[in-house]
Structure 1
Amino acid sequence: MKKLVLSLVVLVAAGIGAWFLWRPAAPAPDVAFTTIEGKQFSMHDLRGKVVLVKFWATSCVTCVKQMPGTIETYNIYAPKGYETVAVAMNYDPPNYVLNFAETRKLPFPVALDTRGDIAQAFGDVKLTPTAFLIDKQGRIIKRYLGDYDMADFHATLDKALAAG
């Protein structure tokens, strides 16, 4: 009886693991972004590119610490079809965001989420940094919360860029 129960537990665990490994990627919400320069675009406009949508705040220590790596990754991968959209949280004063973007010379679009609609659409994001890697077909392939391993991120990014 113990062997049967143990076998059943292993089989269920394997099934759950397989579901997480091979489940279809969820589509990213088709939200509209407005940059600090007033430009507007949507997730749909970014189809065909691999996109990192990164929720951040100027008051977030980890976000500020990650920004040089985010810039470096963007500069390396943008020519290969990669885009980054830095979405400032609704509690972040727009003048702080503008000052940060200008002084750090952020090379990618910086969007203001003044009403919190974008964060809401991405699953009610509250914690920063939270980032979503989205494939060329507009599907979320990975969610990152807090600090993450850049080598692992680059490997995932390389794979997504190589995919059709």
Structure 2
Amino acid sequence: MTIQIGDAIPEVTLKHIHDGVRVIDTPTLFSGKKVVLFAVPGAFTPTCSERHLPGFVEAFETFRKQGIDVVCIAVNDPFVMQAWGESVGVPDGLQMISDGNGDFVKAMGLEMDASAYGMGLRAKRFALYAEDGVVKQLFVEAPGEYKVSSAENVLANLG
């Protein structure tokens, strides 16, 4: 079942690069914080690299001024996420998190099968806003679209 507004973020262990590969769990990412998390189908893919991640890079300071952390997640390994962030110029503080086995997106009910494209299990393109680990806003894209999960749309809907 797909996560809904008002639901708690599921507890999942993820990875990221910070002085080597580090484990981070969702309570650490979300508890006691305001967080915008956006998910992409794949690092280095066209829409993700040309529009989705750059939009959040551009809006990063606007989110930070509102006390909101920004997290990017994809079903890629932590080394790919680090390299992708470096290639796009991700600012310090915008977290590039690896959901290497898709555990998080499966727990959220937001996985997709991209086997037809040789990519296997991936995240649907989505964004969410959570406060203290509870989803307050959720923006899930229709297949092949990039509209509602953009940084601009998320900012416009924070109210």
**Which stretch of structure 1 is more off in the superposition, 123-132 or 49-58?**
123-132
Q: 1:116 offset after TM fit, Å?
A: 1.6
CA contact (8 A) 1:63 1:129 kept: no
SS at match of 1:35: strand
Q: TM-score, normalised by structure 1?
A: 0.67
Structure 1's consecutive aligned runs of 4 or more residues displaced over 4 angstroms after TM superposition are: none
| Counterpart check, 1:29 vs 2:10 | yes
Q: 1:35 offset after TM fit, Å?
A: 0.8
| Counterpart check, 1:39 vs 2:39 | no
Amino acid at match of 1:30: E
Q: Which has the larger strand fraction?
A: 2
Unaligned residue ranges in structure 1 (runs of 5+): 1-22, 160-164
Alignment of 1:62-73 (within 5 A): 62-64=47-49, 65-73=51-59
Alignment of 1:46-125 (within 5 A): 46-56=30-40, 57-64=42-49, 65-89=51-75, 92=76, 94-107=78-91, 108-125=94-111
Distance 1:78 1:30 in 2: 24
Q: TM-score, normalised by structure 2?
A: 0.69
CA contact (8 A) 1:50 1:133 kept: no
- The structure-2 alpha-carbon separation of the partners of 1:135 and 1:128, relative to structure 1 and needing over 3 Å to count, comes to closer
Unaligned residue ranges in structure 2 (runs of 5+): 113-121
Rg (Cα) greater in structure:
1
- The structure-2 alpha-carbon separation of the partners of 1:131 and 1:83, relative to structure 1 and needing over 3 Å to count, comes to farther
Q: Give the superposed CA RMSD.
A: 2.5
Q: 1:128 offset after TM fit, Å?
A: 5.1
| Counterpart check, 1:138 vs 2:137 | no
Distance 1:132 1:66 in 2: 10
Q: Which has the larger helix fraction?
A: 1
